[in-house]
Chains A and B, each alone.
Chain A
Amino acid sequence: MGGWAAPTRLQFAPSETPQTIEMYDFIQKRKRLIQLMLALVVVPFAFFGLESYTRGTGGADEVAKVDGMPISEREFGEEWKQQQERMRGMFGRNFDPSFLDTPESRRALLDGLIARRLVAAAIAKANIVISDDSLREAIASIPAFQVGGKFSHENYETLLRAQGMTIATFESQMRHDLAVSMLGRALATTAIVPRSVAERLAVLEGQKYEVSEALVPAQQFMGEVALDEAKLKAYYDGNAVQFRTSERIKAEYLVLSGEEIAKQVQPTEADLRAVYEQRGAQMKVDEQRRASHILIQASPTAPEADRKAARAKLEDVAAQLKKSPAAFADLARKVSQDTGSAIKGGDLGFFGRGMMAKPFEDAAFSLKDGETSAIVETEFGYHLIRVTGIRAASARKFEDVRAELLAELRQKQAAQKFAEAAETFSNMVYEQTSGLGPVAEKFGLKVQATDWIGSDPASVPKLLANPKLIGALFSPDSIKAKRNTDAVEVAPSTLVAARVTEHQSAKTRPYEEVRADIEKKLRLAGALKLAAAKGGALLEQTRKGGAGELAWSAPRQVTRGAPQGLDTEALKKVVATPSDRLPAYFGLEKGNDGYAVYRVSRVTPPEPKPAEQANADLQRVAGLYGSTQYEAFVASLRSKADVKINEKVLQKRETR
């Protein structure tokens, strides 16, 4: 330790302050403690590296922690997205997976992620490794990497690069996937199922039961039910909650409808004329001309020599035209450098002023029909222009546009009138304290009335089912002071004002009002009881071999998969019938209909299946057992692992 203790080194130290001395003292006294602490810090580094310090401190955004390893919100979100993609793949682009976003589905997704973690850890712990040979074989057998049925290394590299993946990443991922599937296959595809069980399942699934049914109808006993006033009253007193009604009102209302007002509006002929005159300019259609041209391109910035050459070329064309004026279209096709029009023999169609380059326009609008211009120069180059049609300027006649103007004017006047009316209407209903009558009179409207309505919009006529209006109707102003509500716009240009005419607070309906209902109810209950008693007795009789008064339905052939209308409860009883004691009977209450007695008269085992089919059944059951055993494997891993789920983060809506 000599060098370590060399005093010279210490002499170079800056002068120590009292604090540092104190610290030496401190260290001296607690040497062993500090050494222990140092050891505690160093040892984890030696074994696990820095990771163990950084891991597991995130906390807030972890969805779960599996044996200390967090599953982040991001990872969960990625998984969520992938699942959505899979769903869209299955159900089509327009499928909206968000409606499957339930707490349970999130939980299931997380369970899958956790299972994957657990299996990965189990694989690492059990040292399941994939040999290089197996890896090579597996990769070579992926069709995407093959060219002409043979693995192509070039293809392999290109495809991975396209996916933004290095070969090393892909191969380690592949190794892992292969290990998972190796483990999965070893557990899930090797199940051995008792042959006897598989056969029994096939029988249970395919067995046919011949079932008849006889109803003892409750209807038959309605008259025999003994009821008196005291019983009815006792029921009323004992079940007050059933007879509570919520607050309700009757109201009268007025509807001011823009549509109705539009019908009243009738623009006069004079109005229409006035608008027509006013719009004189708009009613005009400007002169239009149709022309063809031949263009030789020459940019204004091109060298003078080029421009001269272009012009010379067109002069040549002009000379040819002079000789045979009819050849314009042919020449345009041959030499015009405006390719769009050239193929149409130079035709540009009709155009008005302001649509073409100025010199072109001037030329086109100064020629007569059929005339050809001299050479015209524009920014595109040199043109020869021939006018091929003229539509003179015109004005649309009043008769032609009258209908158009009428609709327009009516709408405008109606909107104006509605706006005026709406304002008056709103003010009047607000100012009037004595009901809606005067307002109705003023606007020529009819006061309409509702039946009893509650505050639930479903009970309200559609026109009035507006939350603002209903809120206003059930406010103290309406109910206590019987004031008109404000005018409320319940639909575009539709105003409604209403007023409460009658009001009932929440209350228990009086006995007299509900007596009939109670009687009906108790009578049915009593009749059902009597029917059940009678049915039970008949069932016993029949079991003992009595012929009985039961009216049996025609027998039905029932299987588990095809219950032929038998309800679940009855089916459950039917399939439990032992086939060695037939016919078998049982009875069930059947809703409000009465009591049903059932007879199972025959149980037919399914046709014996050919050996091949039976073997396929066995394989199917073995597959089922195998996957269940793999699930048990995962469940066992999970029961041993320390899994913490952060419900808050898991059910957070944004976690997608």
Chain B
Amino acid sequence: MALDLEEQEQLASLKGWWKDYGGIVVFLLLGVALALAGWRGWQWYQGSQAAHASAVYDTLGKAIQAGDAKAVRDASGSLIESYPRTVYAAMGALSAARFLHDAGDLKNAKTQLEWLASGTRYPEFRDTARLRLAAMLLDEKAYDAALKTLEAGRTEGYESQFSALRGDVLLASGKPAEAKSAYQAALDTAKKSNTVGTPFHETVRLRLEALGG
């Protein structure tokens, strides 16, 4: 029975431990459970947002196909209004901007891109929007605004295109020397990321060589 006594002792000490720490353990477990529930809930919420946004995005696609400018504006507006954090809003803004741009509604096309250039949590979409916004500003001869748009921070992978477009803007605003170095920078970045020789960079080389670079 000596062993039993030993075990009794063990149990007693465990009970004592529980008395001291049981509250904390229960509290911690509760916390973990709550966090899990919250996490799952957040996932569910995001999923349901995505499902709703997806339906609106489908509507937008159909409006573009039908060439219905008003419906395009409405659908994209609704995505931006109600589901701004979804990728659908970002995709929608890009699609709507191109459609409106081609249809000659430059003001509304720009509104889409302006929102995306600052209002999305997807940096790749943000930078894509900045490139397209700056392209539109260049055609409007709003060179300073275009340069300002291109100055904002950018993610890796986009530098080369930003530099090339900067070159275009600088050349148009009568600064061929600066344009030349911008084009050169575009090709240098491309060389670093091993994308030199792609069709896009061939066009940059064309532009650079025309300036004697």
Inter-chain CA distance A575–B213, complex, in Å, is 10
Q: Which of A5-13, A141-149, A219-227, A422-430 contacts the other chain?
A: A5-13
User: Cβ of A129 and Cβ of B54 under 8 Å apart?
Assistant: yes
Inter-chain CA distance A654–B139, complex, in Å, is 54
User: Cβ of A204 and Cβ of B206 under 8 Å apart?
Assistant: yes
- Give every chain B residue within 8 A of A551 (Cβ-Cβ): none
B81 sits at the interface (CB 8 A): no
With A205-B206, A624-B199 known to touch, is A5 a contact of B3 (CB < 8 Å)?
no
Q: What does the 1/0 interface line of A159-195 toward B look like (CB < 8 Å)?
A: 0000000000000000000000011001101111111
User: Cβ of B98 and Cβ of A128 under 8 Å apart?
Assistant: no
B115 sits at the interface (CB 8 A): no
Q: Which of A530-538, A590-598, A629-637 contacts the other chain?
A: A629-637
B65 sits at the interface (CB 8 A): no
Q: What does the 1/0 interface line of B87-131 toward A look like (CB < 8 Å)?
A: 110110011011001000000010000000000001111011001
Residue from A194, A195, A560 having most chain B Cβ neighbours under 10 A: A194
User: Cβ of B157 and Cβ of A633 under 8 Å apart?
Assistant: yes
B73 sits at the interface (CB 8 A): no
A434 sits at the interface (CB 8 A): no
| Main SS at interface, chain A | helix
Inter-chain CA distance A640–B155, complex, in Å, is 10
Separation in Å of the B55 CB from the closest CB of chain A?
7
User: Cβ of B10 and Cβ of A24 under 8 Å apart?
Assistant: yes
Inter-chain CA distance A290–B133, complex, in Å, is 96
Contact of A636 among B101, B123, B160 (CB under 8 A): B123
Separation in Å of the A396 CB from the closest CB of chain B?
75
Contact of A204 among B46, B165, B210 (CB under 8 A): B210
- Give every chain A residue within 8 A of B123 (Cβ-Cβ): 636
Inter-chain CA distance A629–B199, complex, in Å, is 12
Q: Which of B122-162 contact A (CB under 8 A)?
A: 122-125, 127-128, 131-132, 135-136, 138-139, 155-158, 160-161
User: Cβ of A632 and Cβ of B158 under 8 Å apart?
Assistant: yes
Separation in Å of the B194 CB from the closest CB of chain A?
9
Inter-chain CA distance A556–B163, complex, in Å, is 35
Q: How many residues of A contact B (CB 8 A)?
A: 56
Beta-carbon nearest neighbor of B137 in chain A: A194
- Give every chain B residue within 8 A of A28 (Cβ-Cβ): 10, 13
Beta-carbon nearest neighbor of B102 in chain A: A192
With A131-B55, A186-B94, A192-B132 known to touch, is A1 a contact of B18 (CB < 8 Å)?
yes
Inter-chain CA distance A183–B36, complex, in Å, is 30
B50 sits at the interface (CB 8 A): yes
Separation in Å of the A108 CB from the closest CB of chain B?
10
A576 sits at the interface (CB 8 A): yes
Q: What does the 1/0 interface line of A1-22 toward B look like (CB < 8 Å)?
A: 1000101001100011000010
- Give every chain A residue within 8 A of B97 (Cβ-Cβ): 190, 192
Contact of A129 among B50, B94, B95, B207 (CB under 8 A): B50
Separation in Å of the B24 CB from the closest CB of chain A?
11
A639 sits at the interface (CB 8 A): yes
- Give every chain A residue within 8 A of B91 (Cβ-Cβ): 182-183, 186-187
- Give every chain A residue within 8 A of B124 (Cβ-Cβ): 632-633, 636-637
- Give every chain A residue within 8 A of B211 (Cβ-Cβ): 576
User: Cβ of A201 and Cβ of B156 under 8 Å apart?
Assistant: no
Beta-carbon nearest neighbor of B206 in chain A: A204
- Give every chain B residue within 8 A of A575 (Cβ-Cβ): 209-210
With A194-B168, A631-B195 known to touch, is A128 a contact of B6 (CB < 8 Å)?
no
- Give every chain A residue within 8 A of B88 (Cβ-Cβ): 128
Q: What does the 1/0 interface line of A186-221 toward B look like (CB < 8 Å)?
A: 110111111111001100110000000000000000
With A631-B195, A633-B157 known to touch, is A196 a contact of B86 (CB < 8 Å)?
no
Beta-carbon nearest neighbor of A573 in chain B: B212
Inter-chain CA distance A126–B57, complex, in Å, is 14
B8 sits at the interface (CB 8 A): yes
User: Cβ of A628 and Cβ of B161 under 8 Å apart?
Assistant: yes
Inter-chain CA distance A134–B56, complex, in Å, is 12
A613 sits at the interface (CB 8 A): no
User: Cβ of B156 and Cβ of A10 under 8 Å apart?
Assistant: no
- Give every chain A residue within 8 A of B38 (Cβ-Cβ): none
Q: Which of B193-213 contact A (CB under 8 A)?
A: 193, 195, 198-200, 203, 206-207, 209-213
User: Cβ of B207 and Cβ of A204 under 8 Å apart?
Assistant: yes
Q: Which of A24-64 contact B (CB under 8 A)?
A: 24, 28, 31, 46
Beta-carbon nearest neighbor of B202 in chain A: A624
User: Cβ of B157 and Cβ of A636 under 8 Å apart?
Assistant: yes
User: Cβ of A195 and Cβ of B139 under 8 Å apart?
Assistant: yes
User: Cβ of A635 and Cβ of B7 under 8 Å apart?
Assistant: no
Contact of A560 among B36, B155, B157, B206 (CB under 8 A): B206
Separation in Å of the A199 CB from the closest CB of chain B?
10
- Give every chain B residue within 8 A of A11 (Cβ-Cβ): 4
User: Cβ of B122 and Cβ of A126 under 8 Å apart?
Assistant: yes
Q: Which of B9-57 contact A (CB under 8 A)?
A: 10-11, 13-15, 17-18, 36, 46-47, 49-51, 54-55
Beta-carbon nearest neighbor of A137 in chain B: B58
User: Cβ of B206 and Cβ of A201 under 8 Å apart?
Assistant: yes
B172 sits at the interface (CB 8 A): yes
User: Cβ of B135 and Cβ of A194 under 8 Å apart?
Assistant: yes
A86 sits at the interface (CB 8 A): no
User: Cβ of B206 and Cβ of A1 under 8 Å apart?
Assistant: no
Separation in Å of the A27 CB from the closest CB of chain B?
9
User: Cβ of A10 and Cβ of B209 under 8 Å apart?
Assistant: no
New contact pairs (5) apart from A24-B6, A204-B206, A631-B198, CB-CB < 8 Å: A131-B51, A191-B98, A204-B210, A632-B124, A638-B157
5 examples of A-B residue contacts, CB within 8 angstroms: A127-B46, A134-B58, A187-B91, A194-B165, A640-B156
Residues of B bordering A, CB below 8 Å: 3-4, 6-8, 10-11, 13-15, 17-18, 36, 46-47, 49-51, 54-55, 58, 86-88, 90-91, 94-95, 97-98, 101, 109, 122-125, 127-128, 131-132, 135-136, 138-139, 155-158, 160-161, 165, 168, 172, 193, 195, 198-200, 203, 206-207, 209-213
